[in-house]
Structure 1
Amino acid sequence: MQANPGANPATRDGAAPLLSIRDLSIALPAGGDRPYAVRDVSYDLHAGEILCIVGESGSGKSMSANAIMGLLPSYLKPERGRILFEGRDLLAQDEATLLGMRGKDMAMVFQEPLSALNPVMTIGEQIAEVMRVHHAYPGEACQRRVLELLEFVGLPDPAALVHSYPFRLSGGQRQRVVIAMALALEPKLLIADEPTTALDVTTQAQILALIQRIQAEKGMGVMFVTHDFGVVAEIADRVAVMEKGVLVEAGPAAQVLNHPQHPYTRRLIAAVPHGRAGDGAEARRKEEVVLDVRGLRKTYVSGGGLFARKRVVHAVDGVSFSVRRGETLGIVGESGSGKSTIGKCLLRLTDIDGGELHFDGQDIARLSERQFRPLRRDVQMIFQDPFASLNPRHTVGRIISDGPVANGVPPAQAEARTRELLELVGLEASAFDRYPNQFSGGQRQRIGIARALALEPKLLVADESVSALDVSVQAQVLALLDTLQRKLDIALIFITHDLRVAAQICHQVIVMHKGKVVESGPPDQIFDAPQHPYTQRLIGAIPGKEWDPSAIRAAA
């Protein structure tokens, strides 16, 4: 398939497309950063095919998916074009007709399953509601269908699960429930909008395998919206690449992934983390140990009472490691492995149950809060969500300079240093007087990095600091962190669930599983020759691991 807005709906093996989008344009309100959210976009999706729509945030990839389902916000209306589903123009249908088609003919799986599920309804009730709305599977047949769907998507003990509420399920289990709801009436079209972005690598692999199995067994057409080229390499039959509302490239997956034609596609692929540490990594390591952790322990206890047993979770169980000046130590693992709890312990954001934390010649694990407070300027954190960690009522200048001022730096000197830091992290000094909501996600993360550097720390802890960013912005932030470390010679602890990112930026890596370190070593060793079965499973679950974009990266 080639990007050709004026083409007639293509055929595949003599069959007309299941879905055909032609010349679709969706105008943005006046004052937006561009006139159209989607402009003159055309592509086809056939039954039995997985089409990946790929692009960065703001590219318009989700907008066209929402237009198909008739879920655009009221202030956005298709200005021209057609959306043909089995030859019927969806843009010409009234709301009642579209309501009857949603779930029955076409269904959608959203990125965040918890927000897509009703917290006060059981899982069984929510799946059954889909069928009741369409008057399908009456009486006991509805309950049998619910159990059948839960079993089909691979959830354990469906008979018990139907009585559970969403908050009791893991993220991967909730996503399987949402998929079960989407499949309830066996629609012909399944739209999946970033359904694996927030999931751990092993859970992500399970959901991708499930969607592939569903597509193969049911013969439905699947539109998979994503910014992850690893996912594209894993599941796509065809790919459509969008940039700023325009379809810039489209074709079979092998062609787009291995022989991209458009400069934007090549830039995206070149930015994919490649799982290899940068040049000179070992040379930058110094002998000075900034932090030495020995036998760190943190246990959480919940529940307990007359009828409930206490639940004890050993979040961090006897963990030891050290990090030197000029070194990046990666801590990798899935949700619940204990990696983020380690970060909280290092910053004394949670109580420590045992072990030693030797920093700057002191065991900070044994210091009181009053004793530790002067050391906080030396240990700073970069958070996962830069928007949530920045006060929306304060200017960027105040956000960055407040820390130094609180530590006795004269305001004029703190302001001058803040403007220097903004330029150091790649922002204009004029950003000083603007507010967080005036910046993109990547720019806000740069502001968070500048704030963390304002007190000139000896140790930075980055907790999933690039996991929410698009691949090209992620590459920019990783390069920035590497450059800053070269200039400032600081120690960095990089917490992540993405082994490719860890292998690219880290000098040493420790792998966490259920509170324990199961493997440690240089990234090449961990990535190329993992020893522990758990590490092997993590590496094996990386999407698109067989795809090698090195030639494209070198050319770019």
Structure 2
Amino acid sequence: MAVLSIRDLTIALPPGADREDAVRDINFDLDAGEILCVVGESGSGKSMTANALMGLLPQEVKIRSGRAEFEGHDLLALPEAQRRALRGDRIGMIFQEPMSALNPLMRIGDQIVEVYEAHGRFSGAERRARALALIKEVGLPDPEKIIRAYPFQLSGGQRQRAMIAMALALDPAILIADEPTTALDVTTQAQILDLIRRIQQKHGTAVMFITHDFGVVAEIADRVIVMRQGEIVEAGSAEVVLNAPQHPYTRDLLAAIPSNAIPEPEQVAARPVLEVRELRKTYQTGGGFLRPAREVKAIDGVSFAVAKGEVLGIVGESGSGKSTVGRAIVRLVEPDSGQILLDGRDMNTLDPEALRAARRRVQMVFQDPYASLNPRKKIAQAITEGPIAAGTPKAEAEARALQLLETVGLDAGAADRFPHEFSGGQRQRIGIARALAMEPELIIADEAVSALDVSIQAQVLELLRDLRTRFELSLIFITHDLRVAAQLCDRIAVMRHGRLVEIGPVDAVFRNPQDDYTRNLLAAVPGADWGTELAAPG
């Protein structure tokens, strides 16, 4: 039985957008007690549909037509006061980025209590008791401590659990989850998916789960809707859509998913470009009157080498130290001890002038290209300012920038535009072009494809493969996505709590992992049972 019925929904975009409508004439039902996954690339209209139901559309985006029937009401036609009463009460929402959705100035417990206050439920003491019970239900550790904590004091997975607690506070009939696991590592992602499934079954909640990850779909969905450019192109049971897709777009999306098959390793030179020896970095946090400081060993005696032309993948959960290693190599983080040898010279002992020269040879591509590009500078300046500062004549740097834009698959006309005028995948290509402008021997890519749709991710991975061959580049590829690592890397280094627990050829690590932690990471990959598993059983 349907608890929500969407009929002929059309949402108009403002003038000047890339198309007339964000969503065009879509129809679907959400049944009681089911998990409906809405799948599609960025810009497909899936999040816009959810925001329309919640009354959270941007001011310039308007509903042109359609109905959304829920408990005898058309959600789209309700006055704002009535819609506000339903929000959080009968319809809850989990947002993609909990740090943005949570109030940074309020304790977690107070934010859950605020939901009860906004809807006039329960007394003061009962509100706190219910908040504490919710914190326990969503599996947060040490509930009495968490209820007094601020969002910045929690990990990403813990913040997402707190968001889920807020969404469940009034036992809603519908839970909308908008990409709630996109930024999480595989083990935390698996825990959140299991939590949502358990809560859905316990409360009989209907869940509308928005995602671009078919591994998540395989793990959690009962039914699937596939959206493309504002239209529904395919709908059906999860089993049918995953295993017998009818629409070419669905087949293309599934084909873009990193395969479980491990490619043959590339031939690489024996000579190391980079050697890391016994690298260590410890952070001290907290401390104060009668409270000892807490030590966190971000890097704890890590050693490895990268050969010329090799791709070394560094994988691990959030907090494992993998990004800190990458930042220490380019000296964005100063290590406490250890050696970083570039062609045998220790970068930690170089004078400023020699360090500047060495830095040209090691460049970084960041996870969020929008945050790493200056929004006030045109792309040409973003690419050329490094080479110009290093002494390259301006005309030569500008000519190379145009050439590099074409190399990474962008039109030379992109040079005269600003970062906000590009998609996420295009900005990541610009970040790669900027790194290449310095003519490096080694590029460190820190979660460079983790936020991208599967089709865009596949394109960027193919670009990195091509650049590796064309420029004889070495790569350190930092990721929490083991399937992606298997497609690109020659060797894999697995990190946990600042330490290197396993390192070896991709085939050996994935087919015959030696460490329990590596086996747990592989088992946590969403949809691991859908198709061939990465690691052999046992």
What TM-score comes out, normalization by structure 2 length?
0.96
Q: Residues 212 and 235 of structure 1 are in contact (CA less than 8 Å); yes or no, is this contact kept in structure 2?
A: yes
Which residue does the alignment assign to 1:166? 151
* Structure 1 position 542, deviation (Å): 0.7
2:172 is aligned with what amino acid? P
Q: Residues 257 and 549 of structure 1 are in contact (CA less than 8 Å); yes or no, is this contact kept in structure 2?
A: no
1:77 aligns with 2:65: no
1:260-318 superposed Cα distances (whole Å, 9 cap, x missing partner): 11111111111112244434x332x1122101111111112234444221221111111
* Structure 1 position 181, deviation (Å): 1.1
Which residue does the alignment assign to 1:503? 486
Structure 1 Cα separation of the partners of residues 127 and 417 of structure 2: 55
Which residue does the alignment assign to 1:68? 53
1:478 aligns with 2:427: no
Between 1:50-59 and 1:164-173, the stretch displaced more is 164-173
1:352-391 superposed Cα distances (whole Å, 9 cap, x missing partner): 2211221123111222333311111111111111111112
Between 1:363-372 and 1:498-507, the stretch displaced more is 363-372
Which residue does the alignment assign to 2:527? 544
1:384-412 superposed Cα distances (whole Å, 9 cap, x missing partner): 11111112222212211222222222222
1:89 to 74, 77, 95: 74
Q: CA RMSD in A?
A: 1.5
- Equivalences, count: 533
Structure 2 Cα separation of the partners of residues 313 and 436 of structure 1: 36
Which residue does the alignment assign to 1:203? 188
Structure 1 spans left out of the alignment, 5+ residues: 1-14, 551-556
Q: Residues 190 and 223 of structure 1 are in contact (CA less than 8 Å); yes or no, is this contact kept in structure 2?
A: yes
Q: For residues 232 and 406 of structure 1, do their structure 2 counterparts lie closer, same or farther at Cα, with a shift above 3 Å needed? A: same
Which residue does the alignment assign to 1:404? 387
1:125-169 superposed Cα distances (whole Å, 9 cap, x missing partner): 111111122222224322221121111111122223222222211
**Percentage of matched positions with identical amino acids:** 60
Which residue does the alignment assign to 1:3? none
1:62-118 superposed Cα distances (whole Å, 9 cap, x missing partner): 011111111112222211111111342112211111111112211111111122212
* Structure 1 position 46, deviation (Å): 0.4
* Structure 1 position 536, deviation (Å): 1.1
Q: Residues 192 and 224 of structure 1 are in contact (CA less than 8 Å); yes or no, is this contact kept in structure 2?
A: yes
Structure 2 Cα separation of the partners of residues 448 and 299 of structure 1: 29
Q: Residues 332 and 512 of structure 1 are in contact (CA less than 8 Å); yes or no, is this contact kept in structure 2?
A: yes
1:299 to 272, 282, 288: 282
Structure 2 Cα separation of the partners of residues 338 and 493 of structure 1: 14
What TM-score comes out, normalization by structure 1 length?
0.93
Structure 1 Cα separation of the partners of residues 215 and 133 of structure 2: 31
1:414 to 394, 397, 402: 397
1:220 is aligned with what amino acid? T
* Structure 1 position 549, deviation (Å): 8.4
Which residue does the alignment assign to 1:530? 513
Structure 1 Cα separation of the partners of residues 498 and 475 of structure 2: 21
Q: Residues 45 and 51 of structure 1 are in contact (CA less than 8 Å); yes or no, is this contact kept in structure 2?
A: yes
Secondary structure of the equivalent of 1:290? strand
Which residue does the alignment assign to 2:108? 123
Structure 1 Cα separation of the partners of residues 337 and 126 of structure 2: 55
Structure 1 Cα separation of the partners of residues 154 and 58 of structure 2: 30
Secondary structure of the equivalent of 1:18? strand
Structure 2 Cα separation of the partners of residues 165 and 451 of structure 1: 37
Which residue does the alignment assign to 2:443? 460
Structure 2 Cα separation of the partners of residues 183 and 302 of structure 1: 33
Q: For residues 130 and 306 of structure 1, do their structure 2 counterparts lie closer, same or farther at Cα, with a shift above 3 Å needed? A: closer
Structure 2 Cα separation of the partners of residues 414 and 121 of structure 1: 49
Structure 2 spans left out of the alignment, 5+ residues: 534-538
Which residue does the alignment assign to 1:4? none
1:204-228 superposed Cα distances (whole Å, 9 cap, x missing partner): 1111001000111111100000111
2:278 is aligned with what amino acid? G
1:76-155 equivalent positions in 2, closer than 5 A: 76-155=61-140
* Structure 1 position 198, deviation (Å): 1.3
Q: For residues 435 and 140 of structure 1, do their structure 2 counterparts lie closer, same or farther at Cα, with a shift above 3 Å needed? A: closer
Which residue does the alignment assign to 2:256? 271
Secondary structure of the equivalent of 1:222? strand
1:396-451 superposed Cα distances (whole Å, 9 cap, x missing partner): 12211222222222222222211111111111122222222221111111111111
Structure 2 Cα separation of the partners of residues 97 and 293 of structure 1: 61
1:491-522 superposed Cα distances (whole Å, 9 cap, x missing partner): 10001111111111000000000111001111
1:55 aligns with 2:24: no
Q: Residues 260 and 532 of structure 2 are in contact (CA less than 8 Å); yes or no, is this contact kept in structure 1?
A: no
Structure 1 Cα separation of the partners of residues 260 and 346 of structure 2: 34
